Structure 1
Amino acid sequence: MAGKKVLIVYAHQEPKSMNGSLKAIAVEELSKQGCSITVSDLYEMQFEPRTTRKDIIGELYNPEQFNYGVEAWEACKNGCLSEDLKEEHRKVKEAELVIFQFPLYWSSMPAIMKGWMDRVLVQGFAHNLPKCHESGLLKNKKALLSFTTGGDKGMFSKGGISGDIRYILWPMQYGILRFCGFDVLAPQISFAPEHAALEERRQMLSSWEKRLKTIWEEKPITCILE
């Protein structure tokens, strides 16, 4: 797979964490395959998660009443988004695979990663109705969520205290990634690594490494709940 380009959007504060190790394995394994890897380390970058007026350079489309969605759309069309957003857009445009690596917080992604979604995947760049889902502007790119949980697998089962993991994943996989046109690959879930024995944690890392060896052969999932 030499020449393939991969973007890893990474959200964890500690490099020695399980998320840090999963990210490092992805970089190592995909680099061995000859892929070109870019990492957006959101905490290291001190990425701004808030959608504000600062994201728009120059005059507003409607200075009388600020509407972020409209202003970001117009700024995207006119090349007037802030430099940090232009840089993330460049990374996404170049990538053939985007991996989101994070710990599950309150049945979702950390705020800093959600902020990346809010600011980067703006109308005109990632979607533009009716250009969504199969015709989303990021079509022909693959994406997957790789994350850790605090609870074990049983907690995220149909009868578990946290509910079926598929319902937690639906807004992220279908409501965001598929909406923007990504071909969504099956998630890589590392259940409760903080409570697992050392050998179990090693197995989680080994499983991820093994999967990455054939990641380019994988087919997308439907993301539709039945």
Structure 2
Amino acid sequence: MKILVVSAHPEPQSLNASLTRFAVDHLRAAGHEVRESDLYAMKWKATVDADDFPGGDDFPGGDDRLHVMAASERATLDDRLTADVAAEQEKVRWSDAVVLQFPLWWFSTPAILKGWIDRVFTAGFAYGPKVPPPYSEGPLAGRRALVSVTAGARATAFSDRGIHGALADVLHPLQHGLFWFTGMAPLEPFAVYGSNDLPEETFEAAKQAYAARLDGLFTDEPVPFRTLVGGDYDHDMRLLPGVEEPGLRGLDLHVRPRD
């Protein structure tokens, strides 16, 4: 299978860099084809601006304002995206699975990874009126997705009653808002906690656990998010009354009951 690994950490000797190298080596040893995008090594441009849409009039409506969605869709469909964005889109198209490796900074991704998402997942490529509808039937359907994240806090702080909130909720913008929205099937995230001072024996155990998750990249059950067209939502994209299990609240409403 073909796997794209996208990593985001500025230090080549960091835990995240070690996990990235481990994942790439493990996947290749298992017979997979692997491509990498080390965003810091690539000096990836993280901000969307008019320079991303060269060679055309990307101020629709005649008001001299940049409308990013409309501009990105026109540039995508006209094959006018910058070379760096076009190359990353080709990697995503090529892949059967995408793995994101990053440290959890301020309950989100590093800015450079958010910028990769903002610039690569353009209208006309990952969403928009001219591609399949979102939430399970998006244009990137058929691909698997795995988040591998490191966090300085202990695991209990990210539990259902933990002060940071459940990790599934913290990562919902990626799992549901990026992967599931564009049609990818997200797996349960892999996390290494206490990452600021990780003992060697803990790192070895983490690698073994990560290897098991990588081995299940194409066989483990994805998170069973509800589909937009499966009859659970009304025309305003609101969950229909009575569909959920009693007592469920918040983001858990959008996950189907597991067997």
Which bracket does the TM-score occupy, shorter chain normalised?
Answer: over 0.9
Query: 1:154: which partner in 2?
Result: 156
Tell me the SS of whatever aligns to 1:216: coil
- 1:147-196, Cα deviation, whole Å (9 max, x unpaired): 10010101112222212222101111101111011011111111112233
TM-score in terms of structure 1 length:
0.94
Moved more, 185-194 or 57-66: 57-66
Residue 140 of structure 1 aligns to a residue in which SS?
coil
1:25 matches 2:22: yes
Stretches of structure 2 that go unaligned for 5 or more consecutive residues are: 226-250, 254-259
- Secondary structure of 1:99's match? strand
How big is the shift at 1:72? 0.6
Q: Is 1:118 paired with 2:118?
A: yes
Contact 2:19 2:207 in 1 (8 A): yes
Offset at residue 29 of structure 1 (A): 1.0
Q: Contact 1:11 / 1:102 at 8 angstroms: preserved in 2?
A: yes
1:179 aligns with 2:206: no
Matched residue, 1:44 = 41
CA contact (8 A) 1:127 1:138 kept: no
Alpha-carbon deviation of 1:15?
Answer: 2.2
Q: 1:214, 1:135 → 2: CA distance?
A: 23
Partner of 1:225: 252
* Gap runs ≥5 in structure 1: none
Identity %: 32
Q: Aligned ranges for residues 73-222 of structure 1 at < 5 Å?
A: 73-129=73-129, 131-222=133-224
Find the residue that maps to 1:91 and give its secondary structure: helix
Is 2:7 the partner of 1:10? yes
Query: Size of the alignment, in residue pairs?
Result: 223
* SS class of match (1:124): coil
Q: Taking CA–CA contacts closer than 8 Å with sequence separation of 6 or more, which of the two structures ends up with the larger relative contact order?
A: 1
